[in-house]
Chains A and B, each alone.
Chain A
Amino acid sequence: MSDTFKPEIIAFCCHYTIYNFARDLQGLTKSGFPENVKIEKVSCSGRVARVHLLRTLEEGADGVYVVGCEEEKCHNGAGSRRAKKRSEYVKDVLLQLGMEPERTEMFFMPRGDEAKFIDIAREMVEKIKALGPSPLRGK
């Protein structure tokens, strides 16, 4: 894949997980957070519905992922575990549609771990770069 491909990625992120650093998006970018990942803050990763992930992909995003609290430490109990299951559901849909399931992921993260948050975003960018643009892009 050509280096010029700049994937468009949406990250649904739990408000509690990224609370301490996400208020300062510019600072985050300076610390190395990729510019082409757009953050959508949600009150809990458990609030991210299957249809949110699917619509994001339908609208042409090359990747979409969810960041939530560590599985056992979800602020709302089972929110992030639920998010994981929904992400699995969307992976299955992608597979059935003949698309790469890796275009969606769920990440559990310790609360406030900025470095990890940046790593996740960069990992996702690399992964999607390798996959190339979504077949739905621009359609």
Chain B
Amino acid sequence: MIVAERKPIQEILSMISGLRKILILGCKGCVTVCSAGSEREVMILATIIRMGRKKKDEPIELVERTLVRQCDPEFIDQLSDSIGQFDAVLSMACGVGVNFLADRYPKTIALPAVNTKFYGVAEEQGVWSERCAGCGDCILNLTGGLCPVARCSKGLFNGPCGGSVNGKCEINPDINCVWQLIYDRLKGLNQLDKLDEILPVKDWGVSSHGGPRKIVREDLKI
């Protein structure tokens, strides 16, 4: 899922400063799973914003709503009747949702309430971590299913750098060295010889470095 985290309160308050009527828009997709932009988080953020504005004697009118997804025209278009009444929409979806709002409603101010962090997993209740970088050319078949692009701090392709110690990354002892994990896993699978191959330079043209990406499936288009 896409994992996000709510922005600091003061940052949100300052971006809506002076605005009087706002739609706080949650999303029932990824950000609900990772508890950043669910219906409940919308309720909490609305309360916090009202508190902040009351404190400054600048009351604000907030409408709370949560769409099934903000990344799909079917749902984002549900706002078309009511969106005109708001000074801005404060979206609690990932950056995709904010973009799509801005794409669909040219006259509406679209603001982000969360920082979109990564594609990750829920390691346990309340803990998420990164697994994929969306690089556009998956090599997980070569690395035991563990991704050095997303999980090696230097994105190295051919084994751990000299800073891998006791299974940890040199930049932070809380980060596992993914190359240690890859080594252990391939050893367990009896596939260590895979590591003797030199992985060629990567085509970053199919990642975000090649410009905004698009997929068209003619078989699915109507």
Contact = CB atoms under 8 A, between A and B. Distances in A.
Direct contact between A and B in the complex (CB less than 8 angstroms)? yes
The prevalent SS among residues of B at the interface is: helix
Interface stretch (A11-19, A38-46, A50-58, A110-118): A50-58
Contact of A96 (B9, B43, B50): B9
Contacts, number: 38
A139 B53 CA distance: 10
Nearest to A94: B51
Interface size class of B (residues with CB under 8 A): 10 to 19
Given A58-B50, A93-B9, A96-B9, A51 B44 contact: yes
Contacts of B48: 54, 93, 97
Interface in B42-100: 43-44, 47-48, 50-52, 54-55, 57, 59
Contacts of B52: 97
Q: Which 10 pairs from chain A and chain B are nearest by CB?
A: A96-B9, A54-B47, A139-B54, A58-B51, A136-B54, A135-B55, A51-B43, A51-B44, A97-B52, A58-B47
Contacts of A51: 40, 43-44, 47
Contacts of B8: 96
Q: Which of A49, A55, A97 is the most central at the interface, judged by chain B CB atoms within 10 Å of its CB?
A: A97
B10 interface: yes
A54 to B, nearest CB: 4
A97 B55 contact: yes
A107 to B, nearest CB: 23
B53 to A, nearest CB: 9
Contact of B51 (A49, A50, A54): A54
Nearest to B52: A97
12 contacts: A49-B40, A50-B44, A51-B40, A51-B47, A58-B50, A93-B51, A96-B9, A96-B10, A97-B55, A99-B51, A135-B55, A139-B57
B10 A57 contact: no
A93 B48 CA distance: 8
Contacts of A93: 9, 48, 51
A98 B54 CA distance: 12
B60 to A, nearest CB: 12
Given A50-B44, A51-B40, A51-B44, A97 B9 contact: yes
A51 B44 CA distance: 5
Contacts of A99: 51, 55
